[in-house]
Structure 1
């Protein structure tokens, strides 16, 4: 940025019109940024929220989920249906199909993109679920009560299977691992969730790898053939950062932008926020890459404060997410990887239970199924680093805040 550029003349360009991008633009205005703010989005739709896609939009209960933001009143320019192809930091310019876009400050908020099933591209009836267009293409599939095969028993697979069963579809979920959520939760925690599929009438097949997808069928590596009017792929997501190749912006092992604890990149005047960025967590002693809505909501405040020039905010949140699946409300807070103690509250065969993870006596993470009060209190206890009494924690009738050491 030129030394002659005044604060009121600074141009912030946000690439990505999802939650992280929109909230960054809004936070800049809320924190008094007087310059120009421009949000560039690859999709042509008005910016929208993603969680309703796997629920209300799929089931025809909502037409969309546009953010309740008056962009015009806030002086935020939207540049939609425009794909960014690259960035030249030395010139402070973005390259797009419609020509270059100059910036003084760039915020990378391009989120994540679903991993595609190898060999299935171009096969009729194969779907992803990430965008509004994806959800709208799947809605008539559910309405016609098709036989559906879901590949992947992660969060999105479970949520889609729930919606498909509610719509009356026959659903088979195939998972290469030995349990649902194999990459997200320890075996003893995820194992009870396998019964949820059968309870709602979905067929869960673990240790099941897809050999190929044919029109109207999925063939597993053991030779099994599963009828499939539609196939929905939910095998994970990766940061949408390919456009940054060669820019000098450092990318991590998962393709994410490597940001510092203020969400700055190593390139001057470039920030990264949301699903596409990792950050160092002093709380957990490792770098975190969080692909969840709350991270995209919280991070923008840190970015905006740094751009505006307020006292720098260190970004070290307690990660949080939730999932509605098979009639259950599942919430998770924290990061359990370094736990040395696991405490169960309630029977996992029942409708409501919680798992708490401790490290050196302090609560660092918890998973709450149908126990929102545990989650709310636990999140505060994680933030404060309070010591807990494992024996008291085991009593599900005792409030978490009264199970301290």
Structure 2
């Protein structure tokens, strides 16, 4: 192949996006919205039309919806959608991806492969043990949940709480087993999670903290302290890791957590290769830390930055958002914005025993994070204050009757 022919083929290959979840789909859409007219190809490992994940642990799991496909006209936008295409390798020198169906050339590449759930060692293939990450996972689990009278959830994080909520709504007795000494141990401080632990009992779910799973057999979960829990279904929700194993040896630099080490413009260590969403970490000047954000809003916002930089052909836009996520659990709407690592002050707004309350974190007087339970205005106003770096009056922040937007120091 001549150099001229090779360059022509690369030009026609356009932008290839690996991963057809929220980050991948939104990158393709953003490219078109921002005026990119070249070829855009979206590779998805699953055979299903691209879909949204949050409904999987809610409406889809409970049979209130069959799927959660994105309302995107891929054909009308000129986006080439290749489903059931698993990417197994990257040869950067050739600007090609290796897939089970053969090589796929690219001119510009976007990595948007998301994350894969962590499993419990020794439980792979054990009957009755489920993960909840994909549409197929929800489809397999839905009839099991409908038939089971008792479920055990391993992990008291966000997904564990959401599944326990759905199981209780389905009429299952639920036991949540958490190896740490409290719920959400990896996400929030102990004083903040203490009132959240009470939600389990109020919902009729048993919560066992400091309890490690030693094994899972048909019909029971064995704990390290010798206890045995009868069960009809087991759901494992102990976290996720970036889906980047296929990048080994590719030249893409990965961090200790397995995430693609993107720069402030969401570019990787390889020319022409960008990364976005759950698979990528990025440096935040706002927080002075590298962040890995496994939440829906990050997969929605990051693609706009990637698209802008791809269209410009150079780094013109920095990605430094105020991270945001939400969780619906035990009849409560929980929202969080910011990053509380490095905060020096924690302030309560309201009684944590009440249905609605918030927590604010300050650093040098400026709001850096807010957790809102049933107080959506606190979240909305707090997010804007974080973006602006506004220094607040701590006494007014601690008064739940004062709107957050009115707490700026005078």
TM-score range, shorter chain: over 0.9
Tell me by how many angstroms 1:4 deviates: 5.8
Q: CA offsets per residue over residues 211-267 of structure 1, 9 Å max, x none? A: 111111000000000001111000000000000000000000110000001100010
TM-score normalized by structure 1? 0.98
User: How far apart are 1:7 and its partner, in Å?
Assistant: 11
Instruction: Give the aligned partner of residue 212 of structure 1.
Output: 215
The 5-angstrom pairing of residues 95-244 of structure 1 reads: 95-244=98-247
Is the 1:172–1:205 Cα contact (8 Å) retained in structure 2? yes
Q: Which residue of 1 aligns with 2:268?
A: 265
Match of 2:338 among 334, 337, 351: 334
d(CA) in 1 for partners of 2:227, 2:353: 31
With over 3 angstroms needed to count, the CA separation of the structure-2 counterparts of 1:132 and 1:335, relative to structure 1, is same
CA distance in structure 2 between the partners assigned to 1:56 and 1:180 by the alignment: 24
1:73 aligns with 2:76: yes
2:363 to 359, 362, 367: 359
CA distance in 2, matches of 1:264, 1:122: 37
**Structure 2 counterpart SS, 1:364:** strand
Give the distance between the partners of 2:20 and 2:222, measured in 1 at CA: 37
SS at match of 2:327: strand
* Alpha-carbon distance in 2 for matches of 1:138, 1:371: 33
Correspondence 1:48-63 to 2 at 5 A: 48-63=51-66
SS of 2:60 mapped into structure 1? coil
Cα distance per residue 1:193-212 (max 9 Å; x no partner): 01000000000000000011
Alpha-carbon distance in 2 for matches of 1:204, 1:4: 60
Counterpart of 1:282 in structure 2 is 285
Q: Secondary structure at the match of 1:260?
A: coil
2:386 pairs with 1:382: yes
- Which position in structure 2 is the counterpart of 1:349? 353
Match of 1:247 among 250, 275, 280: 250
Match of 2:319 in 1: 315
TM-score by length of 2: 0.97
Distance 2:32 2:396 in 1: 46
C-alpha distance in structure 2 between counterparts of 1:6 and 1:98, whole Å: 18
Distance change (3 Å), C-alpha of 1:81 and 1:7: closer
Q: Cα deviations across residues 340-384 of structure 1 (Å, max 9, x unaligned)?
A: 000000000110000000000000001000000000000000000
Displacement of 1:10 in angstroms is 5.3
- Measured after TM superposition, the shift of residue 142 of structure 1 is 1.9
Distance 1:192 1:312 in 2: 44
Contact 1:145 1:167 in 2 (8 A): no
Q: CA RMSD in A?
A: 1.4
Q: Distance in 1 between matches of 2:9 and 2:398?
A: 58
State whether structure 2 residue 23 is matched by structure 1 residue 25. Answer: no
| Mapped partners of 1:256, 1:87: distance in 2 | 16
Corresponding residue SS for 1:139: helix
Q: Report if aligned partners of 2:145, 2:233 keep a CA contact under 8 Å in 1.
A: no
> Hey, what's the Cα distance between the residues in 2 that align with 1:10 and 1:222?
57
Q: Mind listing any 5+ residue stretches in structure 1 that lack a counterpart?
A: none
Judge conservation of contact 1:7–1:35 (CA < 8 Å) in 2. no
The runs of 4+ residues in structure 1 deviating greater than 6 Å are: none
In the alignment, which residue of structure 1 is the partner of 2:395? 391
When structure 1 is superposed on structure 2, of 144-153 and 339-348 the one drifting more is: 144-153
Report the equivalent of 1:373.
Answer: 377
What displacement does 1:6 show? 10
Residues in 1 aligned to 2:143 and 2:9: alpha-carbon distance in whole angstroms: 52
Q: Distance in 1 between matches of 2:13 and 2:46?
A: 26
**Which moved further from structure 2: 134-143 or 327-336?**
134-143
Report if the CA contact (8 A) 1:7-1:34 is conserved. Answer: no
Give the match's secondary structure for 1:90: helix
Change (3 A) 1:280 1:5: farther
CA distance in 2, matches of 1:59, 1:145: 13
